[in-house]
Amino acid sequence: MTTIPELLAPAGDWKSLDASLDAGADAIYFGVRGFNMRAAAKNFTARDLPKIVGFCHKRKVRAFLTLNVVVFEREVVRLNRLLKAAKTAGVDGVICSDFAVLAAARKAGLEVHASTQMSVANSSSIAFLYGLGVRRFVLARECSLDDIRKIKASLRKTLGKKAAGVKIEAFAHGAMCVSMSGRCFLSNFDTGKSANRGECSQQCRREYRIVEERGGQEWTLGKNYILSPKDLCTLPFIEKLIAAGVDSLKIEGRIRGPEYGSTVVRAYRRALDFYAANRGKRGWQARFDELKKELLVSVEQVYNRGFSSGFYCGKPIGEWSARPQNASPMKKRFVGTVVNFFKKLSVAEIAVQDAPFALGDELFIEGNSTGFFRQKVESLQIESQSVSEAPSGVHVAMRVTEPVRRGDKIYIMRAK
């Protein structure tokens, strides 16, 4: 069987963590409040670290703590406390961009990963940081497939036998920043919210116009949102990314919902597993191409801004989003709330408050303690009578595949 890269998935909250694990992630990356580049995510606290690590390790999944913001002097003491807690909890690695975090993580005895914010794009940078104790490198977004191949080849010359201890990580899917490796000051200039502190207000996602004051004329800049890149998607050429020598494929998305992680991680899991089991067999490429088409359709159903190959296949030209936000043809709709659960029967009583649903539909069930799971509707009853549909405004009994709790929310994907 062919060796394949680790599949590294995002977790912005407990529901997303559960979704990514169920979908087949090999490793999870997450942040804690105040110290990561996704301040808008619900995030976790230092007290959550033992539970997160235990949850992951129970499933033989690695847990990486993301601490990739600029750290100020007033925060150093708190940073050291957090890293000590991370070590005690058994965190498998720390993703950083600030040298203060790098040094403190090494002192705490933690494995250190260089964030893409460090803009590592060559073997010399890797060799230098390796000397400081960094063992995994999230390459700069600007790197092409050819760049990755050359970096891997050069490392064997630069580091010799030590090169075997270097892991290369690359983004495979998700949102891209117009500044690529994240050094953007537009948000800070306009709103006082720093992108380098994880607070980006995303001015790049807006439509802009030029005004010629003397003539009073006004033009929209370009036909698309010219500062808003499409999302990265490597499914169409994932075998080339593997062949380039990437050790870990990273999915972006800590501020997106659990249905996003569930869908995208599952798609890449299927692609990687097929590649591992079938590469080299007769007719495998044609079958793989068909599978990738199917998987591409599935990831198009959740939040995206259109898809691009990023810099992997050369410098992108005109790869700007045509919409301010979601380009998916589907929208997540609220169905209702679990009001009771009958454990012996595996039946949930649901108050249908908004979107109706029917037999055969796929529902998403979310809760702070339940986590996240998806299931097909196979049975429905209203007042002990079997029905095929559950309209808004009724209470309906539905058999569920996993335990649920009162207050859990139920959603469905509908065409816009």
Structural domain spans, the chain: 6-179+229-308, 330-415
Query: Do the strands 134-138 and 385-386 form a parallel or antiparallel pair, or are they unpaired?
Result: unpaired
Of 195-204, 259-268, 285-294, 377-386, which gets the smallest average pLDDT? Answer: 195-204
AA letter at 146: D
> Mean per-residue pLDDT for 360-365?
96
Residue 38's pLDDT is what?
Answer: 63
Residue 54's pLDDT is 97
| Statement: residue 181 has pLDDT above 90 | no
Quickly state the pLDDT bin for 318 (edges 50, 70, 90): low
Facing residues of 232 across strands? 174, 308
**Residue with structure tokens 């500044």?**
179
Q: Is the pLDDT of residue 286 over 80?
A: yes
Instruction: Judge whether residue 195 has pLDDT over 80.
Output: no
Q: What is the per-residue pLDDT for 270?
A: 98
Q: Looking at residues 268-293, what average pLDDT do you find? A: 96
pLDDT band at residue 319 under the 50/70/90 scheme:
confident
Amino acid at 177: C
Please write the tens of the pLDDT for every residue from 17-43. Answer: 999 999 999 999 999 987 866 666 677
Same fold, 6-179+229-308 and 330-415: no
Query: In terms of Cα–Cα distance, which of 219, 217, 200 is closest to 209?
Result: 219
Write the Ramachandran bin of 182: left for phi over 0, alpha for psi from -120 to 50, otherwise beta: left
More confident call, 119 vs 323: 119
CA distance 38 to 256: 11
Residue 253: per-residue pLDDT: 92
Q: What's the mean pLDDT in 102-130? A: 96
- Strand 380-382 with 209-212, pairing: unpaired
pLDDT of residue 193: 76
Residue 349 has pLDDT above 70, yes or no: yes
Domain 6-179+229-308, second-level architecture: Alpha-Beta Barrel (3.20)
Cα torsion through 102, 105, 107, 108, rounded to 10:
180
pLDDT at 389 over 80: yes
Confidence of residue 176 (pLDDT cuts 50, 70, 90): confident
Q: Tell me: the pLDDT tens digits for 154-173?
A: 998 999 999 999 999 999 99
Give the pLDDT confidence score for residue 273 in this predicted structure. Answer: 97
pLDDT of residue 109: 98
330-415 CATH pick, 3.40.470.10, 2.40.30.10, 2.102.10.10, 3.40.605.10: 2.40.30.10
Helix axes 123-131, 145-158, angle to 10 degrees: 50
Summarised one tens digit per residue, pLDDT across range 204-216 is: 777 877 777 777 7
Write out the two tokens for 33.
């409040």
% of the chain beyond a pLDDT of 90: 75
Residue 74 in this model has a pLDDT that exceeds 90: yes
pLDDT at 123 over 80: yes
pLDDT at 177 over 70: yes
CA angle 304, 5, 51 (to 5 degrees): 75
d(Cα 192, Cα 384) in Å, to the nearest integer? Answer: 57
| Per-residue pLDDT at 98 exceeds 60 | yes
Distance CA 221, CA 210 (A): 7
CA distance linking residue 163 with residue 156, whole number of Å: 6
Determine the Cα–Cα distance for residues 413 and 356; give it in Å rounded to an integer. 11
H or E element: which one contains 273? helix 258-278
